[in-house]
Every structure is written in structure tokens, then in C-alpha cells.
């Protein structure tokens, strides 16, 4: 198996966070700083994970499960995990420092879930 082309990595690292921020906006998050930080965190996590896979030539984990309604791979799963971790850390270090944990996890979770779904179905 081949690794993802760099153009896919760039595309996914930009479209996933954009969809995540749009989802947050639609679900009622209106604080621009929180939206921005969540978007940057998801972008960084997505970029780092997929860059590591490309640099290490780890294309073998990009094989989708043969289930047409939800063709997930380990690459997709890693994207979601890294997107969530980076978004949560970025939010906790900046705008959500004094907010309840459930709020921070909700913002990071929604943004990362949107990036994960975009990863599964678009690239």
C-alpha cells in the first residue's frame, strides 16, 4: 500500500477543521476565540498524524474496512484521536482554561468528530 499523497494531507488538514468549526457554530458555539483555537488544534493534530504516516511510509494502516456504509481505517482513527487530543490541549491551554471540563471536551469532541467523519468519507 502507498501512503497518502501530500496534497491529501494538506486537504484533510484544512477541510476537517473547517467542517468542525462549522459544526460547532451550528451547535451554538459563538465564541470566536474558542472556534479558532479548536480549528487550529484539529488542524495541527490531523497534520501531525498524517505527516508521521507519510514520513514513516506507513501506508499499510490506510486499508479501509470492507463495510461500505462506514469504511474506516486505522489511519482515519488516528486522525480522529490526534485531532481530539490537540484540540483539547490547545483549548485547555488557552481559551477554556477557566471553563468546566465538560465544555472543553464538548468543543474538542465535536470538532474532532467532524474532522474524523470528513477523513473517513472524503480522503
- Residue 88 to residue 47: CA distance in whole angstroms: 16
Please check whether residue 53 lies inside any domain of the structure. yes
| Nine-digit cell string for 64 | 479501509
Q: Could you give the percent of the chain with pLDDT greater than 90?
A: 82
- DSSP code of 76? H
- Residue 74 to residue 21: CA distance in whole angstroms: 24
Over 80: is that where the pLDDT of 52 sits?
yes
Please check whether residue 1 lies inside any domain of the structure. no
Q: Which of 12-21, 33-42, 60-69 shows the lowest mean pLDDT across its residues?
A: 60-69
Residue 73 in contact with residue 61, Cβ under 8 Å?
yes
The mean pLDDT value for 30-55 works out to 96
59 pLDDT band (50/70/90 cuts)?
A: confident
- Residue 118 to residue 110: CA distance in whole angstroms: 12
Q: What is the pLDDT of residue 62?
A: 75
Q: What is the pLDDT of residue 41?
A: 98
The mean pLDDT value for 7-26 works out to 96
Residue 26: domain span: 6-122
Q: How many beta carbons lie within 10 A of that of residue 23, not counting itself?
A: 16
| Nine-digit cell string for 37 | 483555537
Please check whether residue 104 lies inside any domain of the structure. yes
Query: How many domains does the chain fold into?
Result: 1
- Residue 38 to residue 95: CA distance in whole angstroms: 10
Q: Cβ neighbours of residue 80 under 8 Å, at least 6 residues apart?
A: 112, 113, 115, 116, 119
Amino acid at each position: 500500500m502507498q501512503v497518502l499523497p501530500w496534497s491529501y494531507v494538506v486537504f484533510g488538514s484544512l477541510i476537517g477543521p473547517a467542517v468542525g468549526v462549522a459544526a460547532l457554530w451550528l451547535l451554538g458555539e459563538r465564541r470566536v476565540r474558542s472556534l479558532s483555537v479548536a480549528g487550529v488544534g484539529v488542524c495541527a493534530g490531523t497534520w501531525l498524524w498524517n505527516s508521521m504516516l507519510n514520513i514513516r511510509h506507513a501506508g499499510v494502516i490506510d486499508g479501509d474496512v470492507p463495510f461500505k456504509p462506514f469504511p474506516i481505517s486505522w489511519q482515519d482513527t488516528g486522525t480522529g484521536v490526534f485531532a481530539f487530543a490537540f484540540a483539547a490541549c490547545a483549548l485547555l491551554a488557552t481559551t477554556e482554561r477557566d471553563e468546566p471540563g465538560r465544555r472543553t471536551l464538548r468543543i474538542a469532541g465535536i470538532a474532532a468528530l467532524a474532522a474524523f467523519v470528513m477523513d473517513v468519507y472524503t480522503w
